[in-house]
Chain A
Amino acid sequence: MKSRVKIEDISKPSKKLTHLDIDDLMPLPPPYDKIEEQPGWKALSEDALENLETSLDDTIAIGIPKPKTQEEEKELVKKFLSGLEKLLTRENNWTFLQPLLLSLEHCAKCQTCTKACPIYEASGKQDIYRPTYRSEVWRRIVHKYLKPGGKFFGRLSHGDIDLNWTTVARLMELSYRCTLCRRCAQTCPIGIDNGLITHELRKVFSQEMGIAPKELHEKGSVLQLEVGSSTGMNAEVVKDNIEFIDEDMKDLTGIEVHTPWDKEGADVLLIHNAGEILAWPENPGAFAIVLEKAGISWTLSSDIAAYDGINYGLWYDDFQLGRVAIKHAEAAKKLGVNRIVVAECGHAHKALTVIADRVLTGDFNIPRVSAMTLLEDIVFSGKIKFDPSKNDFPVTLHDPCNMVRLMGIVEPQRRILRYLCPQFREMEPHGVDNYCCGGGSGFAIMSGHNFQDWRLAVSGRMKLKQVIEAFDDHPEPETKKYLCAPCSNCKGQLRDLFRYYGVQEKSGIIYGGLVELIVNAMVDIKQPFINFDEMQ
């Protein structure tokens, strides 16, 4: 049963600040509406409960070990506070200081943003998931502990809070209950950005305290910088894999492709999310076919990090973001390409094109463009012949937040779909008003303990509802339907979401990228490229 949680409750030690019951969650449309058939979530293990900080809710994203002594707790609290202080200095945080100060000082607490948050809505309006909850905790700490006279004036005007280890540990976990989709920011009449505050809190934990989910840091950006990719593939392995994919493409389509590597002077350096190569090889394969058929001069790079477009620093650490973006730019500079094209990965789009735009200067500032635009140019160039009747099945489009709401790339992919997919329909809401897949900000790759259950039951719930409703004219599983999601992370979340709820079996929906639909519609392809039965 949902209980009311006040802002100041975060500081009060208890077993759990919030407990979620499955029947509190937002109802789903049929045939997913029966609570007894919903998978729910596993309980945390005894080991986790004993050794890790688990007092926020029913899951853990980071798994912070419990401090052994009070001194250790005090030291961590001190570090957190020093990180907050650094966050508000121009030298340490020039990257986001202005928007952060604006969000610190001007919120009217009108809660307009709460209605926009898919996690808050899907959770059945649990107080702690309200976009303003963590922001308010942060504001109260800053005003009470960092402002002159804060113990009196801060407390009076902003409300009271106690800064102790319980507060810090819960806030740390709470900063990973938001997908940074920034739908809340879009609705704020004043322009306050709760997504930014979450992002900045994550930075304090990473940049000052060295704490971040291992999937994002150790197995993410660190691995990418050391080995070349967060998948663990080094250059040799990735080349082998791409060679296999080229062969598979020939077998499947009859079209011979040889993915070029490290071709100097190419027009385009294409950067995939390397996860595609392992999980959805048909995507890089389809890119190779389309680019070859269109006569584009292109290449992949085998330099460290340059064959993997991911940049997890975007979600938790400015320096990791900068390091990876510089690696990407350096590879492009070395090859002397005209432009970098970011393939179907939303956060890679935003990290390299928009966020790193003010990190990459001089020779590193090489034009970056979206694959959506390049694919649109190719589709409408007349260089490839298409037969849209090959895609004559219901298709809808998921808008990756990073690519759409946060970059304004809305129409190119739609123009392609309207042309190539006769039964294309929008889901509601869509475009810049879309809902996150529930796997944003790193969630899609975070599955430790029972976090995967939480992100599928709660953070992905709104997207599932939208997808099912988009096809409500054909609910029967016999009619095969395609959810186009031009983003690797979104696909990762959708894959897990579909398995969790049995969407393919119950509704006959599969998911995939955009380029696969393009290849599927090519006249030159004799067999269907999209295989509804084989897709998992």
Chain B
Amino acid sequence: MSVIQILIYAAVLVFLVTNITRFIRMASTPIHLRWELYPVAHDVKRFKYGGSFLEESDWYTKKLHKSMLGEIRVMLPEIFLLKGVWEYNRSLWLWSFTFHIGLYLLTALIFVLILGGIIIGPNIFNVEAGYGSLSTIGQIIHSLSYAMLIAGCAIGTIGTLGLIIKRSTDREMSSSSSFGSYFNLFFIAAIFISGLVFLFSGSAVDKLIKCYYSLITFQPMPNLGAAFAVHAVISGLFILYLPFTHMTHFFMKYFTYHKVRWEDTPNIRGSKLEKKIQEQLSYPVTWSAPHINADGKKNWADIATEEVKKDEK
């Protein structure tokens, strides 16, 4: 097995394990106090103007309906068109949009190439006989991969370089940027640019399908040339690195939107939510300020009701 192959396996493994762990950790944090921001997307009826169920004086007598479809309808343009950036930061949008589209295309290409590895992988080694020897679906996958690779790398390069220039020249962005902010962008730029170089080195899609075939079947990967090696190593290292950065926002948005911004579930007497809250109210507190009067043994509820209890005596 080649070093590149081992790197890719390791990167994918670390990527999956770390991200799943991060997701589980975030999902298992305590239920927080309500902190929603309107408009709330699952309230389809009132989303347009930002209203909530609290606009009704008898809201507590009614069953509340949450529309997951409503949330998806808002998230799709947010994810694929960067609607928020378009609305609130127009001068950044073009660069951010092309940057993300580049990443989306290369991410989608991974799945197309997995499919390609399965369907045309065994034949690709004989493709010198001509692409006509591939099945129709094989030819579609081949052409699609080529289009996605060239479009992803070209659009992504434009976006990333645009972001680097924007970040370094915009007063607000540059003053809060760190070494890490630029490092991430240059890292991603290296993926796109090495992808373009690889593309122009010839037979790029064939090489990629060979690579994926080898990865899927755990067979040794043939030597696919220096341009491929550079692109594969940079991409592998990035996959390895990503879970440790803020870029995990691509899945953490589930929490920031669904679990915080739109989380408006009211606490109903006798509900599971209430039970969970009561459990959390029994957490011991160690804050040090004198007015908190914590000793590490008293819990949240003890402290919050201390004066109430005093009055009762």
Give residues in A with beta carbon < 8 Å to B.
4-7, 79, 82-83, 86, 90-92, 94-99, 101-102, 105-112, 114-116, 125, 127, 130, 132-133, 136, 156-159, 182, 185-193, 196, 206-210, 217, 222, 225, 304, 318-320, 322-323, 326-327, 330, 339, 353-355, 357-362, 365, 367, 369-370, 372-374, 376-377, 404-412, 431-432
Please, how many angstroms separate the alpha-carbon atoms of A353 and B280 in the complex?
Answer: 19
Please, how many angstroms separate the alpha-carbon atoms of A149 and B43 in the complex?
Answer: 44
| Residue of A112, A133, A374 ringed by the most chain B CB atoms within 10 A | A112
Interface size class of B (residues with CB under 8 A): 35 or more
Name B29's contact: one of A7, A90, A319 (CB within 8 Å): A90
Q: Are B280 and A99 in contact (CB under 8 A)?
A: no
**Residue contacts A-B, CB under 8 angstroms, 13 given:** A4-B175, A86-B286, A90-B283, A105-B252, A110-B96, A111-B89, A196-B35, A208-B289, A210-B291, A327-B308, A405-B37, A405-B50, A408-B43
Inside 8 A of B257's CB, which chain A residues have their CB? 191
Distance between A20 CB and nearest chain B CB, rounded to angstroms: 18
Inside 8 A of A359's CB, which chain B residues have their CB? 33, 277, 281, 304
Q: Does B131 contact A (CB under 8 A)?
A: no
Question: Closest residue to A374 on the B side, CB-wise?
Answer: B57
Q: Are B57 and A206 in contact (CB under 8 A)?
A: no
| Residue of B53, B96, B277 ringed by the most chain A CB atoms within 10 A | B277
Please, how many angstroms separate the alpha-carbon atoms of A109 and B82 in the complex?
Answer: 15
Please, how many angstroms separate the alpha-carbon atoms of A322 and B291 in the complex?
Answer: 13
* A-B pairs with beta carbons under 8 A, tally: 277
Distance between A419 CB and nearest chain B CB, rounded to angstroms: 16
Q: Are B289 and A191 in contact (CB under 8 A)?
A: no
Please, how many angstroms separate the alpha-carbon atoms of A168 and B209 in the complex?
Answer: 56
Given contacts A112-B89, A209-B289, contact A96 B179 (CB under 8 A): no
Q: Are B57 and A322 in contact (CB under 8 A)?
A: no
Give residues in B with beta carbon < 8 Å to A.
26, 29-40, 43, 46, 49-60, 78, 82, 84-85, 87-89, 92, 96, 170-173, 175-181, 183, 245-246, 248-249, 252-253, 255-257, 259-261, 264, 266-269, 273-274, 277-278, 280-281, 283-292, 300, 303-308, 311
Inside 8 A of B35's CB, which chain A residues have their CB? 96, 99, 193, 196, 355
Q: Are A407 and B38 in contact (CB under 8 A)?
A: yes
* Nearest 6 A/B pairs, CB to CB: A408-B52, A191-B256, A159-B178, A157-B180, A322-B304, A432-B50
| Residue of B38, B180, B289 ringed by the most chain A CB atoms within 10 A | B289
Distance between A229 CB and nearest chain B CB, rounded to angstroms: 15
Given contacts A327-B308, A358-B267, A373-B56, contact A112 B85 (CB under 8 A): yes
Please, how many angstroms separate the alpha-carbon atoms of A18 and B277 in the complex?
Answer: 43
Distance between A339 CB and nearest chain B CB, rounded to angstroms: 8
Distance between B222 CB and nearest chain A CB, rounded to angstroms: 37
| Residue of B40, B58, B89 ringed by the most chain A CB atoms within 10 A | B89
| Residue of B29, B30, B256 ringed by the most chain A CB atoms within 10 A | B256
Q: Are B37 and A185 in contact (CB under 8 A)?
A: yes
Please, how many angstroms separate the alpha-carbon atoms of A114 and B91 in the complex?
Answer: 13
Given contacts A98-B260, A319-B304, A408-B51, contact A157 B286 (CB under 8 A): no
Inside 8 A of B256's CB, which chain A residues have their CB? 99, 102, 106, 190-192
Please, how many angstroms separate the alpha-carbon atoms of A102 and B253 in the complex?
Answer: 9
Please, how many angstroms separate the alpha-carbon atoms of A191 and B46 in the complex?
Answer: 20
Given contacts A115-B88, A360-B267, A407-B38, contact A207 B287 (CB under 8 A): yes
